[in-house]
Amino acid sequence: MDLSTRIKLEIDSRRDELVALTQDLIRIPTLNPPGRHYREICDYLAERLARQGFKVELIRAHNAPGDSDAYPRWNLLARREGAAPGDCVHFNSHHDVVEVGHGWTRDPFGGEVEGDRVYGRGACDMKGGLAASVIAAEAFIAACPDYRGAIEISATADEESGGYGGVAYLAAQGYFAPERVQHVIIPEPLHKDQICLGHRGVWWAEIETHGRIAHGSMPFLGDSAIRHMSAVLAEMEETLYPLLASKRTEMPVIPEGARQSTLNVNAIHGGAPEQAPDFTGLPAPCVADRCRIVIDRRFLIEEQIDEVKSEITAMMERIRASRPGFSYEIRDLFEVQPTMTDRDAPVVRSTAAAIEAVLGREAAYVVSPGTYDQKHIDRIGRLKNCIAYGPGLLELAHQPDEWVGITDMSDAAKVMALVLAELLAA
Ligand SMILES: [Zn+2]
């Protein structure tokens, strides 16, 4: 029997174990924020992987954003050396999940199974992917005990809040340095027949317009920052949105609507602060002396971040030139460069071949509209040979009644194990 048949049989025989592992992971409510039960999930995985011969390290991201003694940012890194020198293949999953939210008809932390689905917060994003990668590694080791190189599995904190207490921290410590790790797969829920090559870039900024406070009955004695901001919003409608819509990308971003530059105004606030909902008084009449918006600009691999920023500055300057009393400030909040792994990169080619072998169809190549931990592996770790590939439907992430398909997990585990065979089999 050839290796790939043995691997598939090993995974088929572990189907119940795959479900049980996914359920166990869902039942540890690793909510972020604030970052609960991180140590517990790392201990659980460490114990399991140590039994499989992995050397396990528990790493706390001391002093990372959010790290405290009440909510320590724990990460697990497990490495299993093969019988001979060779490349290292690393599976990186985040272990945190977002808040439950409303609208559930299932226990979000029950790990209920019905038909071909496991339900729960984090089922698809991304405990199902984490479980699939663990089963893939275990099945590969059983089928090919004398592999060369090394297999690594990490479960990391805080992806949902930027990854600074997780992958960014590990990358800064050198855990993703190219001499240590050569191939990275992030089992985010991009679906079992798609390879996610990267993501668009991000720039968040706060724009503030200035005014002068006065009595609301005599607005002509002041200068309204809200009216100035409305000029900004009008200019965005008039010139900026059409410009962004005209910038198309070669990146295969999904959904299709994100295959261009986009801008969202995430928040707007002007004038006196809003009162708490239980406040029963009336507001005081004042002309707004400040108005702020937070913009969320997503940009393309064809764009430079400096151009993205100067586009906004140029727009603000145009308004200033024509609008008396207009003054403003722009504050950078956050930025991430776009990234896209080459289709000829070894991990991409191996995964594409494995998808074809398991599913009998060609892999699709996609790019994520938003960012994920690949940004840190690329920028801090300097490792380009990285993709996201995992079971689950992205549309279900962060939703009520989130679920992951059992057959999808099993198929994705087969793909991951065949990638190991391709890259590490002796
Ligand atoms: Zn995720």
The verdict on whether 96 is a catalytic residue reads yes
pLDDT of residue 308: 98
Distance of alpha carbon 178 from alpha carbon 71, whole angstroms: 31
Distance of alpha carbon 164 from alpha carbon 159, whole angstroms: 8
- Are 87 and 147 spatial neighbours (Cβ–Cβ below 8 Å)? no
Bridging pattern class, strands 113-114 and 328-336: unpaired
Q: Which two tokens stand for residue 196?
A: 């996610």
Catalytic residue among 10, 96, 160, 311: 96
202-227: pLDDT as tens digits: 999 999 999 999 999 999 999 999 99
Q: Could you tell me which residues come within 8 angstroms of residue 158 by beta carbon, excluding any fewer than 6 positions away?
A: 32, 35, 61, 64, 65, 66, 73, 94, 96, 164, 165, 166
Cα of 94 vs centre of ligand 1, distance in Å, is 7
Catalytic residue among 158, 159, 223, 378: 159
Cα of 93 vs centre of ligand 1, distance in Å, is 8
82-116: pLDDT as tens digits: 999 999 999 999 999 999 999 999 999 999 999 99
Amino acid at 363: A
Cα of 373 vs centre of ligand 1, distance in Å, is 9
Amino acid at 171: A
pLDDT of residue 349: 98
237-257: pLDDT as tens digits: 999 999 999 999 999 999 999
The verdict on whether 159 is a catalytic residue reads yes
294-339: pLDDT as tens digits: 999 999 999 999 999 999 999 999 999 999 999 999 999 999 999 9
Distance of alpha carbon 94 from alpha carbon 187, whole angstroms: 9
Q: Which two tokens stand for residue 134?
A: 């663990």
Q: Which residues share a beta bridge with 365?
A: 195
Cα–Cα distances in angstroms (integers) from residue 371 to residues 188, 199, 374, in the given order: 11, 5, 8
